[in-house]
């Protein structure tokens, strides 16, 4: 695995980092707007930081179809909140989930450390913003899909080949624009431009992404591929998410975007100890 840097924050090669999700949306698929208002959103950040999250991922637009959210509204939802989180938790890395370069610039001015480009470079200026502000960027595979659209009869001759081709091209382009190489992450984009079988396959084949040398981020939390695999609604997908988290960590992923920070942290700690990169928190058994 690979050490990396997001803005002012560094992460070790053996570190498995929790990226806690805090949605500033009234219509998110799982929490249904639970953190749309400032007070519950700040409380969610506090819980996540206390649970061991090193990155907070703030999003102002629901990933799926829904009401139109223009640039001005996205800015209103995220910029003041980034400012508040930066002031209260200087030790945490702040990520903003956006595909818009204008939003990216504004949140970097407010203190963001990484731009989470979940729609695969649809705004080519976003990487230039990351370079300008010396922050990280997540290069995600979305199969060429437009933002906020669902896949329809999508097919790939080889889904991982497409993931590698697109994410590596985005990563190298970001570096060519001036983003520090150690500040670029790649994401296979579970559910984005994919059906459930595609998402399961890219999970099994994560070592191919890890072998490229770029740090790998996975966004698995309560997603449809988990729901369809187990035939469960979002509220009941935690166990499936955590199973996929453990396997993804074992296969070399390093950053885990999650709704359930405490449970994810425990799974990653246990996986790290099994891998031999983290000692047990206590070791008394058989020593007395």
Whether 47 is a known active-site residue: answer no
Q: What are the residues whose beta carbons fall under 8 Å from the beta carbon of 61, sequence distance 6 or more?
A: 25, 69, 74, 97, 98, 147, 148
Weakly modelled stretches of the chain, pLDDT under 50: none
- The predicted-structure confidence for 117-159, as pLDDT tens digits, reads as follows 999 999 999 999 999 999 999 999 999 888 988 888 999 999 9
Spot the catalytic one: 54, 77, 205, 223: 223
Residue among 5, 222, 257, 265 flagged as catalytic: 257
Predicted pLDDT of residue 241: 98
pLDDT at 225: 98
Q: Give the tokens for residue 191.
A: 């559910």
Q: Strands 4-6 and 9-11, how do they pair?
A: antiparallel
pLDDT for position 260 = 97
What pLDDT was estimated at residue 27? 77
Q: At CB < 8 A and 24+ separation, what contacts does 88-94 make? A: 88/42, 88/45, 89/45, 89/46, 89/49, 89/56, 91/49, 92/9, 92/45, 92/49, 92/53, 92/54, 92/55, 92/56, 93/6, 93/7, 93/9, 93/54, 93/55, 93/56, 94/7, 94/55, 94/56, 94/58
pTM of the model: 0.95
194 catalytically annotated: no
CATH number assigned to the domain with residue range 4-275, chosen from the 4 options 3.20.20.20, 3.90.1820.10, 3.30.1950.10, 1.10.3720.10: 3.20.20.20
The domains of the chain are located at 4-275
Rounded Cα distance, 216 and 94, in Å: 18
The residues facing 20 across adjacent strands are 56, 258
pLDDT at 80: 97
What is the DSSP secondary structure assignment for residue 171, as one 8-state letter?
Answer: H
pLDDT at 33: 74
CB within 8 A of 81, min separation 6: which ones? 24, 38, 41, 58
Pseudo-torsion of CA 137, 142, 143, 145, nearest 10°? -120
Write out the two tokens for 150.
């669902």
Contacts for 273 with CB less than 8 Å, ≥ 6 apart = 279, 280
Residues 6 or more apart from 156 whose CB is under 8 A from it?
Answer: 143, 162, 198
């Amino acid at each position: 695995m690979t050490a990396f840097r997001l803005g002012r924050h560094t992460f070790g090669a053996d570190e498995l980092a929790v990226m806690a999700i805090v949605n500033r949306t009234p219509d998110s698929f799982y929490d249904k707007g639970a953190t749309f208002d400032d007070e519950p959103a700040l409380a969610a950040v506090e819980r996540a930081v206390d649970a061991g999250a090193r990155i907070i991922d703030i999003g102002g637009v629901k990933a799926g179809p829904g009401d139109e959210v223009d640039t001005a509204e996205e800015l209103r939802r995220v910029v003041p909140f980034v400012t508040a989180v930066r002031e209260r938790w200087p030790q945490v890395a702040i990520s903003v989930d956006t595909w818009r370069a204008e939003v990216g610039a504004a949140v970097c001015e407010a203190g963001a450390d990484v731009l989470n480009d979940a729609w695969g470079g649809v705004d080519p200026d976003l990487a230039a913003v990351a370079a300008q502000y010396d922050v990280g960027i997540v290069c995600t595979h979305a199969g060429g899909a437009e933002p906020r659209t669902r896949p329809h009869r999508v097919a790939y001759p080889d889904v991982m080949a497409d993931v590698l081709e697109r994410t590596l091209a985005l990563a190298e382009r970001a570096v060519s624009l001036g983003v520090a190489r150690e500040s670029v992450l790649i994401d296979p984009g579970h559910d984005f431009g994919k059906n459930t079988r595609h998402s399961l396959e890219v999970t099994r084949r994560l070592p191919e992404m890890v072998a490229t040398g770029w740090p790998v981020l996975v966004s698995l939390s309560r997603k449809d591929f988990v729901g369809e695999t187990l035939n469960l609604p979002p509220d009941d997908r935690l166990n499936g998410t955590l199973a996929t988290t453990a396997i993804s960590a074992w296969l070399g992923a390093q950053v885990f975007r999650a709704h359930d920070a405490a449970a994810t942290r425990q799974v990653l700690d246990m996986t790290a100890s099994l891998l031999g990169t983290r000692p047990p928190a206590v070791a008394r058994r058989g020593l007395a």
